[in-house]
Copies of this chain bind each other. A is one copy, B any other.
Amino acid sequence: MFIPAIKGQGTEEQHEKWLPMAYKMQIIGCYAQTELGHGSNVQGLETTATFDPQTDEFVIHSPTLTSSKWWPGGLGKVSTHAVVYARLITGGQDHGVHGFIVQLRSLDDHSPLPGITVGDIGMKFGSGAYNSMDNGLLRFDHVRIPRNQMLMRVSQVTREGKFVQSDVPRQLVYGTMVYVRQSIVSDASCALARAVCIATRYSAVRRQFGSQNGGPETQVIDYKTQQSRLFPLLASAYAFRFVGEWLKWLYADVTQRLQANDFSTLPEAHACTAGLKSMTTSVTADAIEECRKLCGGHGYLSNSGLPELFAVYIPTCTYEGDNVVLLLQVARFLMKTVSQLGSGKKPVGTTAYMGRAQHLMQCRCEVERAEDWLKPSVILEAFEARAFRMSIACAKNLSKFSNPEDGFSELSPDLLEAAIAHCQLIVVSKYIEKLQQDIPGKGVKRQLKILCNVYALHLLHKYLGDFVTTSCITPKQGALANEQLRLLYSQVRPNAITLVDAFNYTDHYLGSVLGCYNGNVYQRLYEEAWKDPLNDTVVPDGYLEYVWPILKQHIRTARL
């Protein structure tokens, strides 16, 4: 598929296919975008691709140290080719960042080609994780490639060096982003479910305190402190799964519209996936570590599976859009939506609730008893009102600044909070929608309803300040929600193990001694310990040579 490109015969369509290939087959090609000095700000990349009309070639060059490509997976030791993002320069004019296919290493002896400096960037977080990946660095010293190794679907450079935009809509780029980010949300749900499965099973095995009359101690999963930390994460794993499924639909819908040149829902879909990517990955990263802590000391052992899961997961918060940068994009979209409310332009998709502005500003939560918090309509209204009022408050404060950009910058921490409130609303509302569908299996829907309420009410408790200060609920109603939450935990408890078994992860996939299906944790911990290479010998290498003499010296000189 990529060979013609290498041979310099690439067409637009072939180039388009090359990109996903570059991801999948790092043995051959890697995706070289990020630089030592530039990650989030792609438009600020420094690598240059200067067109030389005399030879019909681009000259790829790294003008500064900070322009060194940094992080591409597979680049360090393996990739023979790369898609390199560089500033296109023709006739002295900078046309911004474009992609170019560049051969890096010889196909004969794998040595770097002239002008190419390439290597591995070194060790990363964790003992395994991304250390099995040769993330690399790459510098170019005036490396020449044929003109047709530029990816020319959206923009082209002619033989004469003229820069031409094709009629392919540039918005298509956002379609890819929607795709990648919706898959990250699904992955978040999987990773979270994995951590929760381990912590839940182990919490049922582990006993501590509470022995009465010499009987067994209490399973730690029966402690309310454990439940109040663990069950919201279990509920989140399900919530993220359902919102992930919905995002798959959203992507299909967006794709269909794009093919029909309908871009009307794209900005909303883009903001929605960006926000959910940010929110779900941040929550999941923290949750994996929380699950590790919920496993007590043994969670710190590598064979608990949690350290590795954490180390391999956390980059997700940074790659494909830094989570804070993404939330700011969501906030910007929300402020735009708010500003257009009076204009007759109806907010669409996940911002549709903003169309009921008057109601959401005036509504008062009607909860009088704890069980009133079980009504989906009550929950939904509280989350909608909170998200909307926080956006409105930000918009109001923004309007006090004469320069909107100054205001946006100054108020950005508040804007982040408004964006998070909006994203949480999306997850809550998609979960509630899911429960309106048929769900097969006797009693399954009832369990999922309980988890939905746990998800919503734990957020309400955690972000109580938001709900109360915006007068969406009263302090008394907040206390009732908390009371209901405790009751819900008791309802989750009897089915907690079934709810994690339902993820259907094999012991092999879980890779956790603490999370094994049969619960034979201590036996397995003991057996695993003996497999450690340190236990291959009784007396460790070097002990008698180096340590023992010190010990003998101590014993000789010890006096009372």
- Chain A residues with CB under 8 Å of chain B are 1-4, 14, 25, 27-28, 34, 36-41, 44, 65-66, 68, 70-71, 76-78, 80, 107, 109-112, 119-127, 130-131, 134, 137, 207-209, 211, 217, 223-225, 228, 286, 289, 292-293, 296-297, 299-303, 307, 311, 314-315, 317-319, 322-324, 328, 409-414, 416, 461, 463-471, 475, 478-479, 482, 486, 522-523, 525-526, 528-532, 534-535, 538-540, 543-544, 547-548, 550-551, 554-555, 558, 560
Closest to A121 in B: B529
What chain B residues lie within 8 Å of A558 (beta carbons)?
1-3
Closest to A477 in B: B469
What chain B residues lie within 8 Å of A538 (beta carbons)?
110-112
A39 touches B78 (CB 8 A): no
What chain B residues lie within 8 Å of A555 (beta carbons)?
3, 107
B529 touches A122 (CB 8 A): yes
Closest to A295 in B: B318
The CA of A30 and the CA of B475, in the complex, are separated in Å by: 52
Contact A303 B122, CB 8 Å, known A296-B39, A319-B297, A558-B2: yes
A44 touches B125 (CB 8 A): no
The CA of A228 and the CA of B410, in the complex, are separated in Å by: 11
* The one of B36, B322, B324 that contacts A526, using a Cβ cutoff of 8 Å: B36
Can you pick out 8 interface pairs between chain A and chain B where the beta carbons lie within 8 Å of each other? A25-B554, A28-B551, A39-B296, A68-B526, A77-B539, A78-B543, A464-B464, A464-B469
Q: Please give the distance in Å from A397's CB to the nearest CB on chain B.
A: 9
Q: Which of A78, A125, A130, A535 neighbours the largest number of chain B CB atoms within 10 Å of its CB?
A: A125
* The one of B125, B211, B470, B547 that contacts A302, using a Cβ cutoff of 8 Å: B125
Closest to A227 in B: B413
The CA of A525 and the CA of B469, in the complex, are separated in Å by: 46
Contact A410 B224, CB 8 Å, known A296-B322, A529-B121, A534-B134: yes
The CA of A126 and the CA of B413, in the complex, are separated in Å by: 32
Q: Please give the distance in Å from A126's CB to the nearest CB on chain B.
A: 6
A28 touches B554 (CB 8 A): yes
Q: Please give the distance in Å from A340's CB to the nearest CB on chain B.
A: 25
**18 new A-B contacts at CB < 8 Å, known A119-B530, A225-B416:** A2-B558, A27-B547, A36-B522, A40-B208, A44-B208, A78-B547, A80-B551, A120-B529, A120-B532, A121-B529, A123-B532, A124-B302, A134-B540, A224-B411, A414-B482, A464-B469, A465-B478, A469-B475
Closest to A303 in B: B122
The CA of A208 and the CA of B120, in the complex, are separated in Å by: 24
Closest to A317 in B: B293
The CA of A556 and the CA of B44, in the complex, are separated in Å by: 39
Q: Please give the distance in Å from A529's CB to the nearest CB on chain B.
A: 5
Q: Please give the distance in Å from A331's CB to the nearest CB on chain B.
A: 10
Q: Please give the distance in Å from A300's CB to the nearest CB on chain B.
A: 5
